[in-house]
Amino acid sequence: MTKVKVVDSIMGSGKTSAAIQMMNKVDDNKYIYITPYLDEIHRIKDVCNQRKFYEPKVFSKDGETFFKLDSLHKLLTEGKDIATTHALFKMATGETRELIYNEGYTLILDEALEVIQELKVSPDDIKMLLKEWMYETNNGLIQWDTEKESIQGVYSGKFQPVRRYALNNNLIMHNGVILLWNFPPDIFRLFKESYILTYLFDAQLQKYYFDIHEIEYEHYTVRRVDDLYSFVKTINTTDKTIKESIKSNIVIYDGTLNKIGDDVYSLSKSWYTKKTHLHKQLKNNTLNYFSNIMKSKSNENMWTTYKDYRPKISGKGYTKGFVSITERSTNKYQHKKVLAYTVNRFVSPLLDSYFHTKNIKIDQDLFALSEMVQWIWRSAIRNGEQINLYIPSYRMRQLLIQWLDDDL
């Protein structure tokens, strides 16, 4: 198996440019480009003018409707160059994997993939499913009892998504009661070559997932000579010049509004759950920062919190500037110059526990830093412009300051 090439290079270093220039070479390679966003698919189709990229779409034939996964399989069968989303790639089936292998595709994965997540199924429902419809195999996968279906008929209840995941070898059990969706690791062994375009890969769950499943990878970075970009093997993933520019353009608020985040776990998900009496204070702080301290225009404001608590922290003059904490690989917010990052990131205790059972320790600080830096990079900082930043969490603020000072 060819090792996965992890292009671990800071934002703005030219990862996408290098990928585009590689794909624009006239050769016999077949590419599948996976990105988080539809807008990026359209850009790839426009700029890769030396080959034609196709996007899987819903289509009809002989009165029958075929969905995006069907379209993907059709394009793979035809050996087309393909650009599609993380969401569709995560739906890959055994048929998808077989077609990828047979056609000899090269994968370019823009940003690390969400490879493992908790399914929202109650313990009682899990016990029922295990008793009635599912069973655990020797290798830890949860399978659907298709033999039972051949007798009783195909299951058509509310757990059809769970059935689909089980049939696709996506399900694993943790602690005997919790179902986890797991991306089939064998798919990375089926490509002719695989590239992952990211930054701080060692902080990401996909790295730990690779370690669990013994998927070999090696670090690459981007080399630029004039206007030519290329991927080169390296163990050094830090671009000092870009980081110096970032540091000089970030103004981090340092004042009394930070007191709410002094504790190491302040503004974490559990803090939001337990400290409901402090939600109004955090909202007032955020409003004060935008309206009184920065006096910024609403269209320049960008802020975030956990999805469930967005209504609690929203306020006049910045509500519409909300950007999800998981946002990445988009330039839709590059005009935003005044930012509020009102969270304190940790990998969920459940996933931390799961990896711990596999003798893998997650670096919580590196994870938090990676998530925050990616979010900040959605703003005007990506254009070399100055931004102002409110980070009330002491832990998160110090992680950013330390990162900015490292290697300078």
Beta-strand runs (E) in 78-212:
81-85, 105-110, 116-118, 134-136, 142-144, 171-174, 178-182, 193-198
99 shares its domain with 124: no
CA 54 – CA 36 distance, rounded (Å): 16
Residue 215 CA to residue 328 CA, distance in Å, equals 25
Least confident among 56-60, 112-116, 283-287, 373-377 = 56-60
- Phi and psi at residue 337, to the nearest 5°: -120, -15
d(CA 385, CA 272): 32
Nearest CA among 194, 193, 181, 169 for reference residue 95: 169
Q: What is the CATH number of the domain that holds 103?
A: 3.40.50.300
Residue 37, both tokens: 């966003």
CA-CA-CA-CA torsion for 390, 330, 90, 75, nearest 10 degrees? 180
User: What is the mean predicted confidence (pLDDT) over 149-153?
Assistant: 90
284/167 same-domain check: no
Kindly state whether residues 156 and 136 are assigned to the same domain: yes
Residues 92 and 210 in one domain: yes
Is the pLDDT score of 234 beyond 90? no
Of 200, 264, 221, which is closest to residue 406 (Cα–Cα)?
Answer: 200
Residues 322 and 338 in one domain: yes
Under 8 Å CB-to-CB from 42, ≥6 apart: which residues? none
Which range (24-28, 63-67, 203-207, 337-341) has the least confidence? 63-67
Residues 211 and 336 in one domain: no
Query: Same domain, yes or no, for 247 and 101?
Result: no
Same-domain pairing of 83 and 192: yes
Domain-ending residue, one of 143, 162, 182? 182
Mean pLDDT of 278-292: 98
Bridge partner residues of 85 (DSSP): 35
Q: Which amino acid is at 119?
A: L
Residue-level pLDDT at 237: 46
Question: How would residue 201 be classed by pLDDT, with cut points 50, 70 and 90?
Answer: very high
Tokens of 328: 């990445």
Same domain, 275 and 375: yes
Residues 64, 154: one domain?
no
With beta carbons less than 8 A apart as the criterion, state whether 73 and 102 touch: no
Predicted pLDDT of residue 345: 98
The CA distance from 367 to 344, in Å, is 11
Domain extent, residue 174, equals 117-182
What single-letter DSSP state applies at residue 102? H
What pLDDT score does 303 carry?
98
Six-digit token string for 190: 């089926």
Which tokens in the block code for residue 154?
Answer: 């195909």
Average pLDDT of span 165-194:
90
Could you tell me if 53 and 72 lie in one domain?
A: yes
Q: What pLDDT, in 10s, does the model give residues 376-397?
A: 999 999 888 999 999 999 999 9
201 lies in the same domain as 143: no
Number of domains in the chain: 3
